[in-house]
Chain A
Amino acid sequence: MTGREPYPFTRRRFLAAAIGAACGWAALPMTRALAELQSASPREPIELPLAAADLYAPHDLAG
């Protein structure tokens, strides 16, 4: 066999890799939320069909 031997994958290295992966996984939603907050486009209103209107709901609009 020529060249270097593969580095031995010790238990300590395995643990470090697992913890690193878990932290990255946990941070992903936060990173996405931050990216959304930073984006400049405003939120669009939710569009509903007319059939979804609650016609008899009490309301305090004047007129």
Chain B
Amino acid sequence: MTDVACDLCPHRCVIPEGAAGDCRVRVNLGGKLRATTYGRPSAIHIDPMEKKPLYHFLPGRPVFSIGTAGCNMHCRNCQNWQLSQRGGEEMETVHRAMPDEVVALARQEGCSAIAYTYNDPIVFYEYVEDTAAAARSAGMRNVFVTAAFINREPLRRLCRVLDATTTDVKAFDDRFYQEVCSTRLKPVLDALVTFREEGVWVEVSHLVIPTLNDDLQQIRRLCKWVRDELGADTPFHFLSFRPMYRMQNLPATSPQVLEWGRREALDVGLHHVYIGNLSGHEAESTYCPRDGTRVIQRIGFRVVENLLTAGGLCPTCHQPIAGVWT
């Protein structure tokens, strides 16, 4: 009987033969570590890029999105718990989809990017890596939607085939990470810096949960950290919480709290601060940080108008707007 150590994420599970790690999907079979969800996505959809959310990366484009079972976080408020808090064998249906097949179908459907999303793609790392490499070869981009609880070395390696990430920072509070998500904060912040160093386009999302992480001083500290470590041009998305999974005892986030948070973020000096899950709010649109021109108008996940010039400049003052526009 040989135990195996999984070095992918900071849990660093030591897995006995026949058992799975904390994520439920990386298992020890005959003394070898196996990713049981390789080529077996449980969710496949074509979404707008804005849904990830990514607002400064190929706006308005459809993105071929896949997710599997399992997760290395166990957030009590998880919106996708039917996928993330199950092992592969617990799913009702799975698809057989090897990397080349995913890329071929994504191209056939007119998608210029593939997103690894829904559950945390860290736990299907090898599948992401192979699919992303095939997508790159086919001239497509790769988007990684994650909570970024991953070790630095595997992340650096994966960054070679990634183009953009939406990284969800759950709170700027290690205790929150421990109590609500069963993880820690520091590896997440380290991963964000790694994304930045490796040239991956980064957007940060932050779900504001009443009474747990809605303290404005904490939000201000998070925004300062983003400004100093990732840059003031990093898009920041405040997301509204909805009662879910094992956190049904709290109300949805009030729009006012999201607006207060946004004001803090702008006050700290972030240039692009959004409010999500509140369709029709003016903070869904992109504004020029120099003259305030609305350069991309959105309603929900739909781009209504995109006035950016070729090269991503403000049409009135010609200020470059940070992002990957083509």
Contacts and interface: CB of A to CB of B under 8 A. Distances in A.
Interface in A25-63: 42, 44-53, 55-57, 59-63
A59 B67 CA distance: 13
B96 A59 contact: no
Interface residues on chain A, size class: 10 to 19
Contacts of B296: none
B118 A63 contact: yes
Given A55-B44, A61-B43, A46 B80 contact: no
Contacts of B45: 55-57, 59, 61
Contacts of B93: 45-48
Nearest to B111: A55
Contacts of A57: 45
B191 interface: no
Contacts of A59: 43, 45
Contacts, number: 69
A45 B117 contact: no
Contact of B118 (A47, A52, A61): A61
Q: Is chain A's interface secondary structure helix, strand, loop, or mixed overall?
A: loop
B96 A48 contact: yes
B46 A50 contact: no
A56 B46 contact: yes
A60 B82 CA distance: 11
A30 B88 CA distance: 30
Given A45-B89, A55-B44, A61-B45, A50 B51 contact: no
Interface in B74-90: 79-80, 83, 88-90
Given A45-B91, A45-B92, A63-B52, 10 more contacts: A45-B88, A45-B90, A47-B40, A48-B94, A50-B97, A51-B105, A53-B97, A55-B46, A55-B109, A60-B79
30 contacts: A44-B89, A45-B89, A45-B92, A45-B93, A46-B92, A46-B93, A46-B94, A47-B96, A48-B93, A48-B94, A48-B95, A49-B95, A50-B44, A50-B95, A50-B96, A50-B101, A50-B102, A50-B105, A51-B105, A53-B95, A55-B44, A55-B109, A56-B46, A61-B67, A61-B83, A62-B79, A63-B52, A63-B67, A63-B117, A63-B166
